[in-house]
Structure 1
Amino acid sequence: MSARSTAPEKRPGFFSQLRSLYTFTHKAFRWLPFMLIGIILVGIAVGVGIGLLIPPVAIWSVILWGVTGLMAGILAGLMVMTRLSTRAMYKQIDGMPGAAGHILSTSLGRSWQSSDMPVGVNPKTQEAVYRAVGRGGVVVVGEGSRGRLTRLVNDERSKVQRVASGVPVTVIYVGHGEGDVPISKLAPTIKSLPKKIDRSTMAAVIKRIDSVSQSLASMPIPKGIDPTKVRAPRPR
C-alpha cells in the first residue's frame, strides 16, 4: 500500500501567472501587445535621453540609464496590464448571474463583510439579492430586473431594519438602466458611502443579521410540501 503524498500542492509560478494574465487580457484587448511594446520603448527612450542630458556623457552612463528606462517601462507595462485585466474581468462577468456576489466578496476589502452567496433569490428568473455590512451601514444589492426584484429587496430591507434599527440601509441595483450601478462601479460606490457606524456597532449588526438568517434557514419545512416542487411566489 503506497503512502499518500503529503507535499503541498505546487502553486503556479510568477511567470506562469503573468502569462495567464496576459492571455486573459489579450482576449479582451487585442491591441495589448502593441501598447506594451510602445510603453517599453518609451521607457528606454526616456532613459537614454536622461543619460545623454546628464553630464558627463559616457557610453556606460547612457547604457545604464537605458537599462533603467527598460525596467521602468516593464513595470509601467505590468501596471497598465493589471488595470486592463480588471476591466476585462468586469466586461466578461457583466450581466452574468452571480457577478454582484463575486464583486462583493472579493473587492470591498476588510471594511466590509459580504458573501458571494445571495440572501434572496428567485430560482425561476435567477434574480438575486446580496447584502454587505460595513462602516457605511447595510447595503442591499439587487441583481436583475428592478420590477421582479422589488419583493426580494423589500423583504431583505425590512429584515435588516427589524434587527438593526437606526442603521442606514442603502439599496443598489446592478445594471445599465436609469439609476442602476454598473458592475464595474459597484465596489467603488459602496466604498464611497459615508461612515455612519463604528466598528463595534458593525460587529453587533453582523451578529444579529447572521443570527436571524440562521434561524430562518433552520425552520422546518411544513409537512405535505415537497421542496423540489416549490415554485417561486407570483408577483401580485
Structure 2
Amino acid sequence: MAKTRNKAELKAAKAEAKATRKTASKQRRQQLWQAFQMQRKEDRRLVPYMALTFLAITAISVAIGVWSGGLSIVLFSIFGVVLGALVAFIIFGRRTQKSVYAKAEGQSGAAAWALDNMRGKWRVTPGVAATGHLDAVHRVIGKPGVIFVGEGAPARVKPLLAQEKKRTARLIGDTPIYDIIVGNGEGEVPLAKLERHLTKLPGNISAKEMDSLESRLTALSTKGGPGAVPKGPMPPGAKMRGVQRAVRRK
C-alpha cells in the first residue's frame, strides 16, 4: 500500500515539475517576444540586420552543401538554418542591450542597475555611501578584490570613494581595492563598458576569500549604516537579466 502511494506521489511530483518547466518556458518566450516588439519599434535596423544575417549564413551553408554533394546538402542546410537563427538572436540581444544602456546613461541609479545585471560571481552591495544630491558609491566583491563604483558628480563622488577605501583597507589588509567613477569624462568608465572594465581586472583572490570578505564587509556596512541608493527613473525594459538568460537558453 505504501509502495503504491510512493509511486503515485512520485508521478504527481514529476507531473508538477513538468508543468512548472512548461510554464517557465512559456514565460521566457513571452518575455522574448515583448522585448523584440519593443526593440523593433525603436530600432528600425534590427529586423533587416537579423534577416540579412540569417539569410546570408543559410545561403553560404547551402552553397557549401551543394558543392560537397550527396547528404551534405541536407546536413549543411540544417546547420545553416540553426547557425543563422543563433547569430540573429545574438544580434537581437546585443542591440537591445546597447539600447537599454543608452537610455539609462546619466540617470541616477544607472550604475547600480548595471552592476546588478552583471553576469558572473560578483557580490554587489549598492549604496554603501551616498550624498543628498543622489551621488552614490556601490561596493563590488569579485576575483579582483574589492571594487568601489561611484556615480554622480566627480567632485562629490571622489571624497566618498576615498572614505570607503580607507574604512575598508583597515579591515581587509592586503586585498586589492579598486575605485571607478562611471561617466564619460577623462579617466571615467562609460556605463555601457562598466561590466567589460570589471571583467578585465586581474584575478587576485579565490571564491573562498570572496565569501570571507563579504562577511566582514557586510558587518562593517551594518555598523556604519547603509547609504541611500538613488531611486532615479529607469527606462522601460531596463531589467535585462531575464532577456539575456532567455536569449542564451534559446
TM-score range, shorter chain: 0.7 to 0.9
| Pairing 1:114–2:124 present | yes
Moved more, 146-155 or 175-184: 146-155
Task: Spell out the pairing of 1:14-53 with structure 2 (5 A cutoff).
Answer: 14-53=28-67
Contact kept? 1:108, 1:191, Cα under 8 Å:
no
Task: Spell out the pairing of 1:79-228 with structure 2 (5 A cutoff).
Answer: 79-110=90-121, 112-115=122-125, 117-123=126-132, 125-217=133-225
Distance, in Å, in 2 between the alignment partners of 1:196 and 1:13 is: 39
**Structure 1 match to 2:14:** none
Paired residues in the alignment total 205
Alpha-carbon offset, residue 71 of structure 1: 3.1
**Structure 1 match to 2:82:** 71
Distance, in Å, in 2 between the alignment partners of 1:36 and 1:103 is: 26
> Which entry has the higher C-alpha Rg, 1 or 2?
1
Q: 1:217 to 1:17 in 2, by over 3 A?
A: same
Query: RCO greater where, 1 or 2, for CA within 8 Å and sep 6 or more?
Result: 2
DSSP-derived class of the 2:127 partner: coil
- Structure (1 or 2) with the greater helix fraction: 2
Summarize deviations over 1:102-149 as a string: whole Å, max 9, x none.
Answer: 222220511x2113x3111112x2111101112211111110111011
Distance, in Å, in 1 between the alignment partners of 2:127 and 2:41 is: 30
Stretches of structure 1 that go unaligned for 5 or more consecutive residues are 1-6, 219-236
Distance, in Å, in 1 between the alignment partners of 2:210 and 2:29 is: 41
- In structure 1, what residue type is equivalent to 2:192? S
- In structure 2, what residue type is equivalent to 1:73? G
- In structure 2, what residue type is equivalent to 1:208? R
Summarize deviations over 1:12-65 as a string: whole Å, max 9, x none.
Answer: 534322212312332442211111121222133223312321234xxx975664
Alpha-carbon offset, residue 206 of structure 1: 1.6
Summarize deviations over 1:175-226 as a string: whole Å, max 9, x none.
Answer: 00000001111112112211223333332222111111112239xxxxxxxx
**Structure 2 match to 1:229:** none
Summarize deviations over 1:72-100 as a string: whole Å, max 9, x none.
Answer: 32222112211222212211211111111
DSSP-derived class of the 1:141 partner: strand
The root-mean-square deviation of aligned C-alpha atoms, in Å, is 2.4
Q: 1:54 to 1:142 in 2, by over 3 A?
A: same
Distance, in Å, in 1 between the alignment partners of 2:119 and 2:67 is: 46
DSSP-derived class of the 2:123 partner: strand
Of 68, 90, 93, which residue of structure 2 is paired with 1:54? 68
DSSP-derived class of the 1:133 partner: strand
Percent identical among aligned pairs is: 28
Moved more, 167-176 or 25-34: 25-34
Distance, in Å, in 2 between the alignment partners of 1:194 and 1:47 is: 40
Distance, in Å, in 1 between the alignment partners of 2:104 and 2:117 is: 14
